[in-house]
């Protein structure tokens, strides 16, 4: 069993209940992962994912081994048939098979190029691990998805909703750098599986991949989208259509307390204050960002638990 995308969740409500059970008793399965090793391979920077996934592994009694692939090792080659006389020193066929000899589960973080759409959508790194590793793979944020975050967010909404079918808005917000679509994509997929009223707000030219958004309503007027919102999940992403470009930095899309109304504010973090969202929101009780970060542990722990049970 791999955990590659939100689509690997068969029944999101059952998973949410299972995550809540873990959260109420984090050490309940501390024998399950005994003498099992989780390899955490980072091709990119990480804070929450790095710490929460290790914490989840420790709660299951596993031994985490962390590796910064670029810094600790060398360039990895992904091309088929390449004559490797350039900068890459090891092919993913060997690297994935080799790491599988030492780790019972491999978790991988690998961001997109944001310049080569086809390459990013092929999920070259993650899929190569899934193909060539002989052990289960967990996605710690790939080119197009961040399913540990998406599961976390579903859990958090389930915990904090005060009504059976809350209205959830995913709102784009401005940023100074070109950012990936991974968090947005996985949040969309998670919300499509939940019993919520879900809409997206983003400027024109910023629609996410239509194969992911499907028939989810997309508003280009933020105020209109926010009417009656119970949760506003905010995230910047670069243009998908004009791939990886920054087309808009309009500060009017920044989230403010005034815009939020009674809605709860969510963000995956890290967040740039007073660019994506004003201080007043993050410093208020409307913000759930720290609670989300806490839930990262239990989402990861659920995924690892399911894989460990599947290995038995």
Q: Which residues are annotated as a binding site?
A: 46-49, 74, 109, 141, 146-149, 175, 235, 268-269, 272, 296
Among residues 277, 185, 272, the alpha carbon closest in space to that of 222 is found at 277
Residue 31: CB minimum distance to a second copy, A: 12
Of 64 and 145, the one with the shorter C-beta distance to a second copy is 64
Helix/strand/coil percent split, the chain, to 5: 40, 15, 45
Interstrand relation of 37-42 and 76-77 (parallel, antiparallel or unpaired): unpaired
Which residues in the 118-147 window bind a second copy by CB under 8 A? none
CB atoms within 10 A of CB 221: 10
Residue 194: CB minimum distance to a second copy, A: 23
Residue 224: CB minimum distance to a second copy, A: 27
Known binding-site residues for N(2)-succinyl-L-ornithine equal: 141, 175, 235, 272
Which residues in the 1-60 window bind a second copy by CB under 8 A? 27, 30, 35, 37, 39, 42, 45-48, 50-52, 54-55, 58-59
How far is Cα 22 from Cα 4, in angstroms, rounded to an integer? 21
By the rule CB under 8 A, 103 interacts with a second copy: yes
How far is Cα 253 from Cα 251, in angstroms, rounded to an integer? 5
Among residues 151, 107, 149, 114, the alpha carbon closest in space to that of 129 is found at 107
Which of 8, 29, 90, 159 is close enough to bind a second copy by CB under 8 A? 90
How far is Cα 62 from Cα 60, in angstroms, rounded to an integer? 6
Known binding-site residues for carbamoyl phosphate equal: 46-49, 74, 109, 146-149, 268-269, 296
Which residues in the 146-205 window bind a second copy by CB under 8 A? 176
Residue 106: CB minimum distance to a second copy, A: 10
By the rule CB under 8 A, 224 interacts with a second copy: no
Residue 219: CB minimum distance to a second copy, A: 26
Among residues 237, 285, 281, 283, the alpha carbon closest in space to that of 260 is found at 281
CB 178 within 8 A of CB 238: yes
Secondary structure E strands in 155-229? 167-172, 197-201, 218-219
Of 172 and 198, the one with the shorter C-beta distance to a second copy is 172
Among residues 23, 84, 76, 14, the alpha carbon closest in space to that of 299 is found at 23
Distances in Å between the Cα of 20 and the Cα atoms of 5, 212, 245, 260 are 20, 27, 39, 27
By the rule CB under 8 A, 71 interacts with a second copy: yes
User: Binding residues for a second copy, per CB under 8 A?
Assistant: 27, 30, 35, 37, 39, 42, 45-48, 50-52, 54-55, 58-59, 63, 65, 67-68, 71-74, 77, 81-86, 89-91, 93-95, 97-99, 101-103, 176, 269-275, 279, 282-283, 289-290, 293-294, 296-297
């Amino acid at each position: 069993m791999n955990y590659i995308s939100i689509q690997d969740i068969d029944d999101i409500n059952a998973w949410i209940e299972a995550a809540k059970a873990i959260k109420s008793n984090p050490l309940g399965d501390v024998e399950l992962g005994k003498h099992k090793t989780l390899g955490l391979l980072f091709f990119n920077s990480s804070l929450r994912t790095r710490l929460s996934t290790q914490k989840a592994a420790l709660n299951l009694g596993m031994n985490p081994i962390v590796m910064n692939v670029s810094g600790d090792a060398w360039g990895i080659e992904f091309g088929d048939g390449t004559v490797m006389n350039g900068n890459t020193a090891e092919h993913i066929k060997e690297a994935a098979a080799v790491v599988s000899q030492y780790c019972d589960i491999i978790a991988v973080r690998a961001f997109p190029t944001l310049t080569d759409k086809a390459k990013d959508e092929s999920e070259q790194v993650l899929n190569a691990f899934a193909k060539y590793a002989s052990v289960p793979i967990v996605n710690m944020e790939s080119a197009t998805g961040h399913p540990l975050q998406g599961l976390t967010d579903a859990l958090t909404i389930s915990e904090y909703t005060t009504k059976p079918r809350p209205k959830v808005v995913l709102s784009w917000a401005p940023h100074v750098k070109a950012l990936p679509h991974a968090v947005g994509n996985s949040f969309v997929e998670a919300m499509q599986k939940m019993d919520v009223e879900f809409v997206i707000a983003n400027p024109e030219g910023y629609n996410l991949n239509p194969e992911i958004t499907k028939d989810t309503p997309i508003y280009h007027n933020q105020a209109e989208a926010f009417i009656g919102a119970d949760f506003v999940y905010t995230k910047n992403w670069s243009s998908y259509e004009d791939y990886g470009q920054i087309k808009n930095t309009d500060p009017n899309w920044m989230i403010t307390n005034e815009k939020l109304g009674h809605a709860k504010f969510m963000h995956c973090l890290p967040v740039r204050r007073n660019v994506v969202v004003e201080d007043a929101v993050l410093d208020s009780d409307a913000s759930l960002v720290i609670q989300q970060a806490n839930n990262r542990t239990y989402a990861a722990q659920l995924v690892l638990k399911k894989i460990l049970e599947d290995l038995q």
